[in-house]
Amino acid sequence: MKRPVAVLTVALAAACASPPPASPPPRPPAPPVAAAPAAPPVDPLAEAPPAGITPSTPFPAVTHRRLPNGLELAIVPRPAFPVVELRLLVRSGQATDQNQPGLAALTGRLLKDGGAGRFTSRELAERSEALGSRLAISTDRDSTRVSLGVTKGDLGPALEILDAVVRTPRFLASEFDKLRQREVDRVKDRARTSPTWLASMALYRELYELPVTVHPYARFDALPAEIASIRLPDTKAWYKKHVTPENSVLIVTGDIDVAEVENAANQWLGRWRGARPAPESYAEPRGPDSRQFLVVDRPGSSQSQVLVGALGPERASPSYPALMAANQIVGGGMSGRLFLDVREKRSLAYSTGSWVEEPAHGPMPLVLSAGTQTEKTADAVGALLEHFARIGETSPSSEELDRAARFLSDSFLFKMETAGAIADLTSRLLVLGLPDEAYDEYRRAVRDLDPTRVASVAGKHYRKGAEVIVVVGDAKAIAKPLARFAKVNVIDPEKDFVIRETIPKQ
């Protein structure tokens, strides 16, 4: 570790919003105020669908339009769905916080809970409920989304609500003070009760460490003091810069007509004005060249949370399908290697799994996880490191690859069962900057994989000796035994994650 973890604080989502055995593996906590967290790219605990399911159903066609004010429309007519789902996607999220962690999430929450236009916050909720819907705002690393689902006849009233929220938020000081305190309380509660949150705070800092600056993804979440330092004018400035039509997309799916949506959107949102902000700077993180080991102290804990992470390629990389197959093989539910070995055979963890995060910019985090008892912590870490190395050093069996490819390809059908799901999948394409046909190309690619290709890709990114290992637990009991793997930095989450002690490799 090159410097203290003093600036720790997300997106998941962010990368990523679709994530069982009896005890599911821990996941990165939802973004700070994500009312509707972005679905992760793959549910690593689901089993493959029956072999008879056809993989040929394509993702529905997306019609693109642009209003005179610069607002993009992405329309997916689905007459079979008797509802209309709307997502107002702003292409800015927590990665735009810069030196004010928590700013984007707090501002997003304030757009709704602070009231907007002619509606108080209570009236916004009541108006949405009167339409049979719920107004939700979620903020992840790379975007902010305002969501509503209504019947076809209520498209106009739904757009009126969206227009008020994004164009005329009230920014009441009294509401801001309450929301900021709730966020401070939320983070304090996470620090007390969520080992996975603590582990993620350390993991993201190490994975995205840069020599002279802070990467936009290095902060998994904000610290209480950082949130408390945000002022109302800061939220107004973020809103003015980022919540603009040229920086946004209106996604509409369901029983609608393209021309009808275009006309209604222009009627309600056509008065919205604002340019797209300058893009953020995303310096290329390289990840560590040697094994980094952090113990986040949780005195008296009878359990430990373990995360082993590395950086993979960018989401748009041709290696993505093979990497997802490797992830599915190592951590894919009850047929995955981690479950069969670490949990079932060796009884070293009560939960275990793996996942791949999908940020919009730069390399993707590859993570293995385990929840274990304090006395089994060192053995559980050793088991995760074994599997981390194995997936990068040996080819999977044909049976493992067939099962993984079938899950990744065929289970996608179940992700298109509702208009809301299609709206969210379309949103994901737009956030990641992928073409409309990306899902279909991905499904074809995983069906064409062979073990040699998977091994080649995994070998480049699951590199033994270059992992970031984070363990949250009782440092007094676990730190010295863990030093057999690498030098251990013990960090104190109650003092802004500074290094408290360093234990040399034993």
**Apex 326 CA angle, 322 and 328, nearest 5:** 115
Q: Is 53 a member of any domain?
A: no
CA–CA separation, 303 vs 467, rounded Å?
A: 22
Q: Which amino acid is at 89?
A: L
Q: Is residue 103 part of a domain?
A: no
Strand-pair category, 488-492 with 292-297 = parallel
Whether 475 is in a domain gets the answer yes
- pLDDT truncated to tens, each residue of the chain (506 aa)? 444 433 333 333 333 333 333 334 444 444 444 433 333 334 433 454 444 444 578 999 999 999 999 999 999 999 888 899 999 999 999 999 999 999 999 999 999 999 999 999 999 999 999 999 999 999 999 999 999 999 999 999 999 999 999 999 999 999 999 999 999 999 999 999 999 999 999 999 999 988 778 899 999 999 999 999 999 999 999 999 999 999 999 999 999 999 999 999 999 999 999 999 998 888 889 888 899 999 999 999 999 999 999 999 999 999 999 999 999 999 988 999 999 999 999 999 999 999 999 999 999 999 999 999 999 999 999 999 999 999 999 999 999 999 999 999 988 888 888 999 999 999 999 999 999 999 999 999 999 999 999 999 999 999 999 999 999 999 999 999 999 999 999 999 999 899 999 999 99
CB 78 within 8 A of CB 156: no
The one-letter amino acid at 103: L
In the structure encoding, which two tokens stand for residue 35, read together? 């009312």
Is residue 106 in a domain? no
Does residue 356 sit within a domain?
yes
Quote the CA–CA distance of 206 and 202 in Å, as a whole number.
6
Q: What is the pTM of this model?
A: 0.87
In-domain check, residue 452 = yes
Q: What is the pLDDT of residues 86-129, one digit of tens each?
A: 999 999 999 999 999 999 999 999 999 999 999 999 999 999 99
CB 14 within 8 A of CB 38: yes
What is the domain count for the chain?
A: 1
d(CA 124, CA 134): 9
Range of the domain at 324: 292-418+436-503
Q: At 464, which CATH number?
A: 3.30.830.10
Is residue 24, in this structure, part of any structural domain at all?
no
